[in-house]
A and B are shown apart, each in its own frame.
Chain A
Amino acid sequence: MNEENDKDETPTVDERGEFDPRAAATLLAQTTRRAQRQFAFPSPLLSLIQAAALLAAYGAIWLSVRDQHPYSGPSGTALVELYGFVGVAAIAVGLDGRRARAGVSGRSSRQGWIRAIPFTAAYLAVYVLMGALRFDGFSTAIVYGIVPAVGPLIVLGAAAAGDAAAREDWQVLGFAIALIAVGAGSAFAGPSGVWGVAGVGLCALLVCSAIAKVWLRRA
């Protein structure tokens, strides 16, 4: 325990006085809550940033395709905006992860990398599926409309649901099932409308998630 040379061992002064059980209970609750908040990932703030970024990303695509009859797919500019906003969300995830995990190492860090594998595989599978559907002659509305809008939500939701169920994390399980429902339900809006409906649904879900995290912390 001699991390730095100037850390001498000094006698502690807080062992002499009375420590009231009520004060101890308050201190324990406050310390636990503060520690959980500092280790929490993703934080409520991150959920709000993701909500805004993903609404903007899906909104950019919806604005570029909403008047298309027949559907021909998003414009190049809209795709650049989409990936720009997704990039902003990804950077926010990275920064929030660094904040929460600073100084923390051990089993959960290693498990985090392993747990990311099914999510990555599921996400990449959506693009492989799009290629296969295009190859099989499916329409642009399906290949560049419905599938890329709802596919990631359904497969990532399913992967997250399985992961959360295995860890008995009911809050994340509820979020993941809602994500699947948003993805599957928004497909009814058609190839143009799906981008708007999915974007609004995803944004609402992330905002609700942020509110739930704050509320559960205070409960």
Chain B
Amino acid sequence: MIHVPARLRIVATLAALPDGDTLSFTRLQNMIGLTPGNLITHLRKLQDAGYLSTKKTGNGVASRTSVALSNRGRAALDTYTAALRDLLGGL
């Protein structure tokens, strides 16, 4: 799930925030540099896997979507990082 460049960047970016913080869709998009459609697709896949949660507030032009990494997402990134370290350590 995380072993895809775009999703790895999304998860790593959200993991840099303190636990319990959320990031707006707009800033995440600015930081990652994906098109809105591509970002939505990746976020949905991560959300379906339980790695992140999204919350929408407001309506119309004032609406704001925020994204947060879940505990499961943090644990998945930790596991992934450890796996990469083991793999590269063995090369």
Residues of A participating in the B interface, judged by any CB pair closer than 8 Å: 1-4, 6-12, 14-15, 19, 21-22, 24-25, 27-28, 31-32, 34-36, 38-39, 102-109
Contacts and interface: CB of A to CB of B under 8 A. Distances in A.
A106 B20 contact: yes
Interface in B60-91: 63-66, 68, 81, 84-85, 87-88, 91
Contact of A102 (B13, B27, B66): B27
A12 B20 CA distance: 28
Interface residues of B, number: 47
Contacts of B68: 106
Interface of B: 3-6, 8-9, 12-13, 15-28, 31, 35-44, 47, 54, 56, 63-66, 68, 81, 84-85, 87-88, 91
A215 to B, nearest CB: 19
B interface SS class: helix
A104 B21 contact: yes
Contacts of A38: 31
A102 B41 CA distance: 23
Contacts of A14: 4-6
B70 to A, nearest CB: 13
Nearest to B66: A105
Contacts of B84: 21, 24-25, 28
A137 B40 CA distance: 68
A104 B20 CA distance: 11
15 contacts: A1-B56, A3-B36, A3-B64, A7-B39, A9-B40, A19-B3, A24-B5, A25-B85, A27-B5, A31-B13, A32-B16, A102-B27, A104-B22, A107-B18, A107-B20
A67 B76 CA distance: 65
A3 B26 contact: yes
Nearest to B34: A12
A103 B35 CA distance: 18
A11 B41 contact: yes
B84 to A, nearest CB: 5
A107 B19 contact: yes
A8 B39 CA distance: 10
A12 B81 contact: no
A35 B21 contact: no
B8 A103 contact: no
Nearest to B13: A35
B41 A9 contact: yes
B44 A9 contact: yes
A113 to B, nearest CB: 14
B21 A32 contact: no
